[in-house]
Structure 1
Amino acid sequence: MLLDLITNRRIVFFGGKGGVGKTTVSAALAVAAADSGKKVLLVSTDPAHNLGHLFNRKIGATPVKLAPGLDGLELDPEQTVRQHLDEVTRALRKLMPVHLSGEVDKHMALSRDAPGMQEAAMLERIAEVVEQASGYDLIVFDTAPSGHTARLMALPEMMSAWTDGLIKRRDKADRFSAVLNSLNRDTSVGDKMLGDESDDSEEDRESRIRRLLNRRKQRFAGLRDALSDQRQTGFVIVLAAERLPVLETIELYAQLQQSRVDVAGLVVNKRLPDGMLGFLADRREQEDIHLQMLQEKLAHLPRKDLQLAAHDVLGVDALRAFAASF
């Protein structure tokens, strides 16, 4: 059933409450897809770095080979923020007048801990991965717990609109600069008012600002279009048959719908097998009660129940065996 969900999709996100087995399920599907002949990139956006632990090897910010046809990548949120801010700082230093470089550094230092900065930086990195991963048939994202992921899925629309607003403000600034220059052909006063203390002309700076903003707008718009295209992208929610994961799944589904992200299906992981006695039989009965609530709310979604494994799933061979239950 799970492999059927990705038959024609190029991007699949796995999300859900923390501790339900998102990394194991997404990694097993990635291994199975690679075994079927696809070229697969498995990407983790979870700061816990469970992907490296699962494959028992170091995985970093550049793709590494995990199995035939399968590469892995871990996006560290803190490192992503640092790289994002360093890149923005370098760009702003080139774009802004020399005498404002200190203000640029001060502003970026304050921005490092600003609300939403980590999500914005991670979103741009995800957009970059999708944009540059043209050599892969399938990109599988193992995401952080639900709340973080829901905000992440909503950001492309907001960031695209925000960048578009910046471009419009640049247009107004361009018109103002043109009027100012026409009123002061002497340039000496005009240059000081415009802060032109570098070798670059105002026109060159404006051109670079416009190119930078348009590139970001296109990147965010591209990701937004990809996320909202159910023929290309699907989101699989992983949960446990417990009350809180079920409630969180129902909430996450509603949030993803608002962000126009197609939920391709549900995976109920770590289910107790039938035929248990005593305490385990009572727990299995309790699972059925919680899943009845899930059925009432999300009956239209495909659902796959996966049995609790007797041993830890570690390494490619174990993931391949686990995927056989899909």
Structure 2
Amino acid sequence: MYSLFNPKNMPLTPFLFFTGKGGVGKTSTACATAVALADQGKSVLLVSTDPASNLQDVLEVALTNEPMAIPGVPNLSACNIDPEESARAYKENVVGPYRGKLPDAVLATMEEQLSGACTVEIAAFDEFSHLLADETILDQFDHVLFDTAPTGHTLRLLQLPTAWSGFLEESTHGASCLGPLAGLEGKKEMYAKAVASLSDREKTTLLLIARSDNSSLLEADRASGELKEIGIRNQLLIVNGLLQTHQPEDAVSTAFYSRQRQALQETPEALKQVMTYALPFVSYSLTGVENLRHLFSSYAMTTFEVEDTTEEALALPGLNQVIEDFSEKNTRVIFTMGKGGGGKTSIASAIAVGLSEKGHRVHLTTTDLAAHLAYTFAGSETRDNLSISSINPQIEVERYKQTVLANAGNGLSDEELAYLQEDLESPCTEEIALFQAFAAVVEKSENEIVVIDTAPTGHTLLLLDSTEAYHKEMSRSTGDVPENVKKLLPRLRNPQETGVVIVTLAEATPVLEAARLQEDLKRAQIAPKWWVINQSLYATETTDPVLRGRASSEKKWITKVNEELAAKCAVIPWLQEEKIGYTQLKEFIL
């Protein structure tokens, strides 16, 4: 279908950026590529600025923010820059001068605006801009590989003149997670050089990493389009984890193979225009230099793929226990949360159906634009117990943007207005807009259990909270918080009323990102009740040697979630078909 990606057989630019949503294999692909290039005699620097990076786990060596030689790989150096630590210093640089001069509520709003993912990304960009802008760096290294890449939103923001003006110190529209960007002061020239290097086809290649599933390919398409808009057009797509063959007698293997091919057929048209390669789904864990070398040299089965059958199997409850728990405790608001691609919509739907089957009146609301939920549930005999609504993210976000622009845009110059408009493209804008829509649904459904597919992060909840505090004190903020949101915020903090379910996969990056999400929620005084590990091959009875080998590697992450992270943990096996519709979803509770 696609040629296999192999850095030994293709010319590559000096700067290589690996990007993609969490869990697609950015780090392992970047590490394997770095090792392959170094083995060819190239001098290579590998840099991670991903807050959920497991670079040291993949290379099996402790790393710092200073480049260090990797044992067993002559010519390869690596460093693991901590963007969250950089973000903390960055935040203090911005907020510190105002301590004791501005009211506490104002400082709280500024601090929370600077606590989001966008600020971490700005801080990460600040770190690797030094490498991109340093003209002597390519005298030292033939290739510099970056494990993660900035979004088009961040780069567009930094190219706006207002990002460097005093306007940011005074802006109080309250919509953004970026907040005042005074920390950028004095770095405009360096950032301009960095952006120029990113756009230079002779210098930089963007490698979009995706899995063969719809949500991952859609994210790659979005990132590709955003970055093309600002001139980063030298792109490659790598479809990672593509099962090369299957065993017809193994139902799991056959379904896995077929679903991957179906997803590839549905690749967005614009993404089909990007040169595409594949990497195989392998049975072993991509950790350690030898395993990384094996990825590009041989795809045969090896001894480290064999599962240790002497170990006792993990026994964890299924989703039916999650539903039983919420039913017994009469939990009134239930959120499913987690990174895209983990199956939040299916889990939310199954919980709603399960509670409906137990006699509860349930309202399920989702941001899933594939309206198959309402369509499939239509005409069901038990529909009286279950109502469904679908919230259109595009409509809600656009409505929210227009409200903020109408309130905050008056009197701004063209440059300031352009900054505000780009600021509203931040991830928090969508979270706030959708949360307001969810709050309206909850308010109308006082006599039902409300199951909500997706939820805002703890950062966004605190941002809404601090905006309200700011509004009370200053009475001039334009980031007004609606009444139904004010009522819902404390309700979410009440464990007697609200249950949060974190949905993840049994892989390194999804688990680490979910752990960060949980800490974020705890900052907002919300403690998740359940973790659900979805799509687990470990929980299947597959005999396919490749899938069985990967299943064995999941055990480490299932154990970590169960013993270290989750108050309660459930596991759902990888399913041969997607459960769509009331009747099929009932199978989760059997």
1:55 aligns with 2:59: yes
CA RMSD of aligned residues (A): 3.1
TM-score normalised per structure 1: 0.72
Picking from 115, 120, 123, the partner of 1:121 is 123
Contact 1:89 1:108 in 2 (8 A): yes
Q: Is the 8 A contact 1:234 1:264 kept in 2?
A: yes
Q: Distance in 2 between matches of 1:127 and 1:240?
A: 28
Q: Separation in 2 of the partners of 1:38 and 1:255?
A: 31
The equivalent residue for 1:131 is: 133
Number of the residue aligned with 2:11: 7
Q: Is the 8 A contact 2:16 2:146 kept in 1?
A: yes
Mapped contact 2:8–2:37 kept (Cα < 8 A): no
**Deviation of the 1:28 alpha carbon:** 0.4
Compare 52-61 and 126-135 and name the one that shifted more. Answer: 126-135
Aligned amino acid, residue 160 of structure 2: A
**Which residue of the partner structure matches residue 190 of structure 1?**
none
1:73 and 2:69 are equivalent in the alignment: no
Question: Measured at CA, do residues 220 and 108 of structure 1 come closer, stay the same or move farther in structure 2, by a change above 3 Å?
Answer: farther
* AA in 2 matched with 1:233: T
Structure 2 gaps, min length 5:
169-183, 300-590
| Whole-Å separation in 2 of the counterparts to 1:29 and 1:105 | 51
- What corresponds to 1:32 in structure 2? 36
Matched, 1:142 2:147: yes
Q: Contact 1:23 / 1:50 at 8 angstroms: preserved in 2?
A: yes
1:242 paired residue among 195, 209, 213? 213
Q: 1:256 Cα deviation (Å)?
A: 1.8
2:281 corresponds, among 281, 301, 308, to 308
Render the CA deviation track for 1:264-318: whole Å, top value 9, x for unaligned: 2111111112242142123212211111122744333222222111111211111
CA contact (8 A) 2:50 2:82 kept: yes
Residue 71 of structure 1 aligns to a residue in which SS? strand
CA contact (8 A) 1:17 1:248 kept: yes
Counterpart AA for 2:146: F
Structure with greater proportional helix content: 1
State the percentage of identical aligned residues. 26
Write the deviation string for residues 233-253 of structure 1: whole angstroms up to 9, x where unpaired.
111111111122122222222
Partner of 2:458: none
What amino acid sits opposite 1:137 in the alignment?
A: D
Q: In structure 1, what is the equivalent of residue 88 of structure 2?
A: 82
- The Cα shift of 1:156 comes to 3.5
Structure 1 residues 85-234: aligned runs within 5 Å: 85=91, 102-103=100-101, 111-114=110-113, 116-132=118-134, 133-134=137-138, 135-143=140-148, 149=149, 152-162=151-161, 165-166=164-165, 213=185, 215-234=186-205
In structure 1, C-alpha distance between the alignment counterparts of 2:197 and 2:34, rounded to whole Å? 20
What is the aligned counterpart of 1:257 among 228, 231, 236? Answer: 228
The verdict on how the C-alpha distance between 1:312 and 1:257 changes in structure 2, with shifts beyond 3 A counting, is same
Q: 1:295 to 1:304 in 2, by over 3 A?
A: farther
Match of 2:264 among 285, 291, 295: 291
Contact 1:30 1:40 in 2 (8 A): yes
- 1:46-90 CA deviation, whole Å, 9 max, x = no partner? 112310111112112111211311111112122011233456689
For the structure 1 residues 6 and 89, does the alpha-carbon distance in structure 2 shift closer, same or farther, using more than 3 Å as the test? farther
Matches of 1:312 and 1:71, distance apart in 2: 22
CA contact (8 A) 1:156 1:220 kept: no
Post-superposition Cα deviations, 1:175-213, rounded to whole Å, max 9, x if no partner, equal xxxxxxxxxxxxxxxxxxxxxxxxxxxxxxxxxxxxx95
Deviation of the 1:227 alpha carbon: 1.1
Counterpart residue number, 2:437: none
Unaligned runs of 5+ in 1: 94-99, 144-148, 170-211
Residue 89 of structure 2 aligns with an amino acid whose one-letter code is: Q
Going from structure 1 to structure 2, the CA distance change for 1:289 and 1:296 (only over 3 Å counts) comes to farther
**Are the equivalent residues in 2 in contact too, given 1:15–1:238 (CA < 8 A)?**
yes
Cα distance change on mapping 1:281 and 1:77 into 2, 3 Å: same
Aligned equivalents of 1:46 and 1:301: distance in 2?
24
Q: 1:262 to 1:311 in 2, by over 3 A?
A: same
Cα–Cα, structure 1 residues 157 and 2, in superposed 2: closer, same or farther, change >3 Å? farther
Distance 1:142 1:226 in 2: 17
Pick one of 15, 19, 22 that aligns with 2:23.
Answer: 19
Q: Please identify, of 154-163 and 68-77, the stretch whose mean Cα deviation from structure 2 is larger.
A: 154-163
Structure with the greater relative contact order (CA < 8 A, sep ≥ 6): 1 or 2? 1
Closer, same or farther: CA 325–237 of 1 in aligned 2, 3 Å: farther
